[in-house]
Chains A and B, each alone.
Chain A
Amino acid sequence: MSELPDDRLVERVGNGEQQALLHLYDRYAGRVYTLALRILGDSMSAEEITQDVFLKLWSRAHSYLAERGPLAPWLLTIARNTALDRLRLERRRPAVADDAEPDETWKDIADEGSASEEARWRSLHFAVQALPREQRQVIELAYYQGLSHSQIAEHLGWPVGTVKTRLRMGMEQLRQHWLHDENGSEKTKTGSPDV
């Protein structure tokens, strides 16, 4: 069963098969936990969010429509929303990105080829890390802490205009990086038609 694609496993989860849910857990729990941990900054809360996300999948499997998109973004969106809700509920002070070394974990993961999604996400991770600190801060506060322009400005003590400019510049760099990767992936996938 572990070889089944996501949509078939979700169908089985919808029919009450716990083993199918555990296969999906083994496939995606790492990503869910990591995202929740990044948002909440607390491993115990991240563990609870991870469990909540898969219990939601258990109870709502029938509401997942494969034709609307892959399962992983669906799960991670639930994880992000659930974690941000908890963050707002607890009114925690957002964690500002620091200058710590980027996580080394990905450097140890074998590259499965430039066309793989894993390689694109890893590439995006390093692109975010490579942004100027001020740009990275505003993007991370917006995405991982759910703050608006004005909330970020208040939190960092910067003018709103500065926040907007830095966020725009950072996102533009990431967009260029993403599109460049996409073109590279297409070339790898389709070969070189010009030859």
Chain B
Amino acid sequence: MNANCQPFRDLLPAYALKALDPDEVRMLENHLKTCPDCQAGLEEFRAVSNGLMFALPPKAPPPRVRARLIASLAAAQAPAPSTRRAWPIWQLAGGLALAILLVLNVSTLSQLQALQRQQATLTKHLQTSQTALALVAYPEGRTLAVTGQQAAGTLILNSELKNGVLFAWGLETLDEAHAYQVWLIQPDGRRVSGGLFRTEPGQPFVSVVIPSSRPFSDFTGLGVTIEPAGGSPGPTGPKVLGTSF
């Protein structure tokens, strides 16, 4: 480093912190183009500056942030495929031909069946939403966050009534042999089934009405596990969602 460098060297720490004013930035950047010593000095200050990003004692965010992220992912579209992995043209042509063939072969009957299934699903969702609206309309209506490792949701209930509504996001679509089972937890720890439900492929949300033979005030919490398709008398599979009342 020569003596002419000193004024510029004095600016390096602030440059690494992006704290220089614009005229100083221009002056220093012109000098850096021709001075390897100052470039090397800058790298050392940049290492410190980058270290400051990590130089805070890490503190975990509240679990609700993870739950909201899962909900947002379910609502968002999947990321755009990478442009770095372009397909060869023959694969694109083959894929296009296959797509045309598939479109031509879809029968009117299967379209009708799909529409009927969709209508049934929408009707069920509408009824569930209306139940939820009715529940929150009561003064004692409550909304609780339901959390899991990979999924999240909201439970709407009224302690004095025998119905609750569970909205969940991020649950995997299960194979035919399995279903999700809701459990209502008694104060003594015993679990009472709150019904079975499944998720539809491509549906990010699921909403289910949870019927109970007793008011929700008789229970202390709720859990959801994966069980055999017909349900189980008590939880046997992995827990995917849970909350305390």
Contacts and interface: CB of A to CB of B under 8 A. Distances in A.
Contact of B54 (A16, A76, A150): A76
A178 B44 contact: yes
Contacts of A120: 51
A178 B47 contact: yes
16 contacts: A18-B70, A21-B73, A25-B66, A33-B59, A33-B60, A43-B62, A62-B83, A76-B54, A103-B57, A105-B58, A121-B55, A124-B51, A124-B55, A125-B57, A171-B14, A174-B51
Interface of B: 10, 13-14, 16-21, 24, 44-45, 47-62, 64-66, 68-70, 72-73, 76, 78-84, 150, 170
Contacts of A14: 79, 81-82
Contacts of A38: 56
Contact of A47 (B48, B62, B80): B62
Contacts of A104: 57
Contacts of A170: 13
A55 B49 CA distance: 25
Interface string A142-185: 11101111101000000000001001101110110011000000
Given A105-B59, A175-B45, 15 more contacts: A18-B73, A19-B150, A34-B58, A35-B53, A51-B65, A55-B69, A55-B73, A62-B79, A77-B53, A105-B57, A124-B48, A124-B51, A124-B55, A128-B52, A168-B10
A30 B61 contact: yes
Nearest to B54: A121
Given A25-B69, A142-B14, A149-B21, A125 B55 contact: yes
B27 to A, nearest CB: 13
A50 interface: yes
A72 interface: yes
Contacts of B78: 16
A30 B13 contact: no
A143 B46 CA distance: 12
A171 B10 contact: no
Contact of A51 (B18, B51, B55, B72): B72
B14 A167 contact: yes
Interface residues of A, number: 66
Contacts of A77: 53
A22 interface: yes
A55 B76 contact: yes
Interface string A32-58: 011101100001001100110011001
A54 B62 contact: no
A28 to B, nearest CB: 9
A126 to B, nearest CB: 9
B53 A76 contact: yes
A5 interface: no
Nearest to B51: A124
A14 B21 CA distance: 38
A167 B44 CA distance: 15
Nearest to A125: B55
Contacts of B54: 31, 72, 76, 117, 121, 124
B170 A18 contact: yes
Contacts of B45: 171, 175
A54 B71 CA distance: 13
Nearest to B68: A51
Given A58-B79, A62-B83, A106 B69 contact: no
Nearest to A129: B55
B171 to A, nearest CB: 11
Contacts of B50: 73
